[in-house]
Amino acid sequence: MSQTALNSWQGIQAEIRRRIADRVWRPGDQIPGEAELAAEFGCARATVNRALQGLADTGLLERRRKAGTRVALDPVRKATLEIPVTRLEVEASGSVYDYRVLESEKAPAPPGIAERMGLAPGAPLLHMRGLHLADGKPFLYEERWVNLAAVPDFESADFALVSPNEWLVRNQPFTRGEISFLAEPASSEQASALDTGEGTALFAIERTTWNAKAAITHVRLAYRPGYRMSTEI
C-alpha cells in the first residue's frame, strides 16, 4: 500500500485490518497509541482517531479512555441497517410503486406508544395508516405515529407525492433509533390492507427514531406474505 493511501483514514483502517489478520497484533494485544500511529503514517492524529473509532464501531477493536486501544478478544461483526425508502425497494424489483393514505388524524399517544417514544401519555401525535403497493398489489402496510412537536413540517407535507417514509428519510435526520423484527399473525386490519387471511404469518418491523431533542416517529410495518429481508455483515 502506498504512503499516500496510508495518509487517509481508509488506508489506515486497511493496514490495521491487515496487521490483525496477519497476527502482527493478536486478540487482546494493545496497539500503539494515536500519536505513535500518526507519526508512523505521517498524518494528523484526528485521522488516526477516525480510523480507530470506525474499527471499534465494527467490534474489531476495543477502546477505553486512559486504557488505550486493544484488539478485541471476541470480535463481533455488526450488521449495518439503514432505513430503506420503500419506493426504491419496490422499483429496484422492477415493479411500479404507489402509496395510499388510509387514515390520518391527530390523536393522543396511547400509553404503549408514549412509553416507546419517551413521551408523556396522551401527548399529541399524528396517527397515520398507509399502504405501499407494487404493481397495484399490497406490498407493505404501515402504521405510524409522528411527534409533530419534533417534526412540525410533516403535517403540511403532500403525501400524494411522497410517502411518509420517504419524506422523513429525506427531511428529518435521526441521531438514534430502536428496531425490532418479529413474526406475527395478521390482525384484521393488516389482513384487510394486505389482502390476505386474518392470522396469516407476516414479517413485521417496529422502529422508533429520535433526534437530539425528542422522539420523531414510531412505526410498525407489516409486509405481504412471503417477503424476505437481507442484509450484510
- The reported pTM is 0.70
Mean pLDDT of the chain: 91
Please give the Cα distance from 166 to 175 (Å, whole number): 17
Distance CA 63, CA 52 (A): 8
Residue type, 115: E
**How far does CA 25 lie from the centroid of its chain?**
32
Let me know: does 76 contact 59? Beta carbons within 8 Å. yes
Q: How far apart are CA 69 and CA 135, in angstroms?
A: 52
Share of the chain above pLDDT 90, in %: 73
Q: Who contacts 132 (Cβ-Cβ below 8 Å, separation ≥6)?
A: 86, 87, 90, 97, 98, 99, 138, 139, 140, 141, 142, 163, 165
Average pLDDT (105-109) is 96
What pLDDT is attached to residue 57?
A: 85
In this prediction, residue 36 carries a pLDDT of 95
Block residue for cell numbers 412509553: 115
Read off the pLDDT of residues 71-104 as tens digits, 9 standing for 90 and up.
998 776 665 667 889 999 999 999 999 999 999 9
Q: Which residues pair with 210 in a beta bridge?
A: 176, 215
Domains of the chain: 3-71 (1.10.10.10), 86-223 (3.40.1410.10)
Helices (H) and strands (E) counted in the chain, each on its own, are 8, 8
Instruction: Give tens-digit pLDDT for 19-39.
Output: 988 889 999 999 999 999 999
pLDDT score at 73 = 86
Contacts of 180 (CB under 8 A, 6+ apart): 205, 206, 207
Task: Judge whether residue 4 has pLDDT over 60.
Answer: no
Q: Which of 130, 135, 128, 136 is nearest to 193 (CA)?
A: 130
